[in-house]
Amino acid sequence: MEIIQIPVLRDNYIYLLHDSTSGVTAVVDPAEAAPVLEVLKRRGWSLTHILNTHHHADHVGGNRALKQATGCRIYGLSAATEWIPGLDENVGEGDPVQLGNVLGKVFEVPGHTRHHIAFWFPEEQALFCGDTLFGMGCGRLLGGCAEQLWVSLDRLRQLPGDTRVFCTHEYTQNNGRFALTVDPDNIELKDRVRRVDAERANGRATVPLLLRDEWATNPFLRPESQGIRIRLGMLAETNQAVFTELRRRKDVF
Residues with catalytic function: 54, 56, 58-59, 112, 131, 169
Which is it for the CA torsion 40, 29, 217, 109, positive or negative? Answer: negative
Alpha carbons 204 and 60: distance in angstroms, whole number: 25
- Ramachandran angles phi, psi of 218, nearest 5°: -95, 110
C-beta neighbour count of 31 within 10 angstroms: 21
* Residue-wise DSSP of 6-58: EEETTTEEEEEEE-TTT--EEEES-S-SHHHHHHHHHHT----EEE-S---HH
Kindly give the pairing relationship between strand 102-108 and strand 133-134. unpaired
DSSP 201-227: HTT----SEEHHHHHHH-GGG-TT-HH
Neighbours of 62 (CB within 10 A): 24
- Give the β-pairing of 126-130 and 164-167: parallel
H-helix segments, 157-186: 172-182
Residue 182: what are its φ and ψ, rounded to 5°? Answer: -110, -10
